[in-house]
Amino acid sequence: MKVIVAHGGQNPADAGAFSEEERTIPHAEGRDILVKIQASAVNPVDTKVFERMPADAARILGWDACGIVEAVGPKGTKFKPGDRVYYAGDLTRDGSNAEYQLVDERLVGPAPVSLAVAQAASLPLTTLTAWEGLFDRLGFAAAEGANAGMTLLVIGGAGGVGSMIIQLARWAGMTVIATAGRPDSAQWCRDLGASAVIGRDNLAERLTAEGISSVDAIYCTTHLEEHWQAMSQVIAPQGRICMIDDPDAALDIRVFKQKSVRLCWEFMYTRSMFKTADMDRQGMILETVSRLIDAGRVRTTLAKTIEGLSAESVQAAHLQQRTGKMVGKQVIVF
């Protein structure tokens, strides 16, 4: 099978940063399923992993896929050969920049029947990050309209994760305010269901201009240090904040003490990395969102399609991801 290997210690623009190799198709054991991949999406985690790879390291990256089940391990019960599935997988294993991939069935959901493979592949990682952050970490009720009257500020609304947060929060009844830096990204957020879109600076002033004095919750997807003090100003007393961004330096948590703010992290790979007892919840979340998509409640966030699995296509996707100007998701179709 063809795989695209990333080589550490290089700039992603270098000629040798990515290479194509032929490897043996792996065999499904235990609860693994073997998936023939049809499309693979690119996320910030791909570029972060690449940047942190030592000079002698080589890895198959890619943790978002849609494809067809080719084989099922002897302990597998959820899927059968021929099923179309989508998943983000496991950060500690080989990724989806390959023609075939092994993945634990507990992390996998049936792909939405109403979507093409590229559209489906754009969803798993960001969907899981958004759902877990909103409902497992922040504690909102995961039901249609169940959180009416609650306000949520999404910092970084036009990115892949922000795009799914907006949609799922609106489905769950929240009033959503999103930050965006450009007119096209602001319109993207409105189209997804944001009631208001504000600039990325002076959050307190911009919210006040929208008639909003404070918000019940904040989901910060980017530039955590930049927004740390502002979040302490605009969060309501006893409010909640979820974060996914990696700060470059220590931050003073005491700014949230007087308001008794709940702070939590969301890392989508916690369940697979530590093989938690509730690891199968990720498959359940993907199945639930698949039904929401087919019912027209949530839509794909695909923004760009790249044709063909090759070292060149993976490299191009990495370089685009690193610009910081992505609206929605980009997907490589095999």
Q: Within this chain, do residues 114 and 134 fall inside the same structural domain, yes or no?
A: no
Q: Which of 73, 310, 40, 209 shows the shortest CA–CA distance to 199?
A: 209
Q: Within this chain, do residues 222 and 250 fall inside the same structural domain, yes or no?
A: yes
Q: What is the pLDDT of residue 325?
A: 80
Q: Within this chain, do residues 82 and 150 fall inside the same structural domain, yes or no?
A: no
- Domain boundary pick from 265, 292, 309: 265
**Mean pLDDT of the region 231-244:** 98
Cross-strand bridge partners of residue 2: 22
Q: Within this chain, do residues 255 and 315 fall inside the same structural domain, yes or no?
A: no
Note down the domain range covering 31: 2-123+278-333
- Domain boundary pick from 233, 265, 297: 265
Q: Which of 177, 247, 255 shows the shortest CA–CA distance to 218?
A: 177
What CATH number did the domain enclosing 290 receive?
3.90.180.10
Q: Within this chain, do residues 135 and 116 fall inside the same structural domain, yes or no?
A: no
Q: Which residues, 6+ apart, have CB-to-CB distance to 45 below 8 Å?
A: 63, 91, 125
Q: What is the pLDDT of residue 5?
A: 98
**Mean pLDDT of the region 2-31:** 97
Separation of alpha carbons 328 and 180, rounded Å: 12
Number of domains in the chain: 2
Q: Within this chain, do residues 197 and 246 fall inside the same structural domain, yes or no?
A: yes
Q: Within this chain, do residues 77 and 132 fall inside the same structural domain, yes or no?
A: no
**Mean pLDDT of the region 273-293:** 98
**Mean pLDDT of the region 121-141:** 98
**Mean pLDDT of the region 233-250:** 95
Q: Within this chain, do residues 182 and 304 fall inside the same structural domain, yes or no?
A: no
Query: pLDDT (tens digit, 9 = 90+) per residue, 209-229?
Result: 999 999 999 999 999 999 999
Position 270 in a domain: no
The answer to whether residue 326 scores a pLDDT higher than 90 is no
- Domain boundary pick from 238, 265, 292: 265
The answer to whether residue 279 scores a pLDDT higher than 90 is yes
What CATH number did the domain enclosing 166 receive?
3.40.50.720
Edge-first strand listing for the sheet containing 151-155: 196-198, 175-179, 151-155, 215-220, 235-243, 262-265
Q: What is the pLDDT of residue 327?
A: 86
Separation of alpha carbons 62 and 103, rounded Å: 13
Position 273 in a domain: no
The answer to whether residue 29 scores a pLDDT higher than 90 is yes
Q: Within this chain, do residues 70 and 169 fall inside the same structural domain, yes or no?
A: no
The answer to whether residue 2 scores a pLDDT higher than 90 is yes
Q: pLDDT confidence of 69, banded at 50, 70, 90?
A: very high
Q: What is the pLDDT of residue 185?
A: 94
The answer to whether residue 92 scores a pLDDT higher than 90 is yes
Position 271 in a domain: no
Comparing 324 with 247, the larger pLDDT belongs to 247
Query: pLDDT (tens digit, 9 = 90+) per residue, 162-194?
Result: 999 999 999 999 999 999 999 999 999 999 999
Q: Within this chain, do residues 299 and 246 fall inside the same structural domain, yes or no?
A: no
Position 243 in a domain: yes
Q: What is the pLDDT of residue 265?
A: 98
Q: Within this chain, do residues 110 and 165 fall inside the same structural domain, yes or no?
A: no
Q: pLDDT confidence of 324, banded at 50, 70, 90?
A: confident
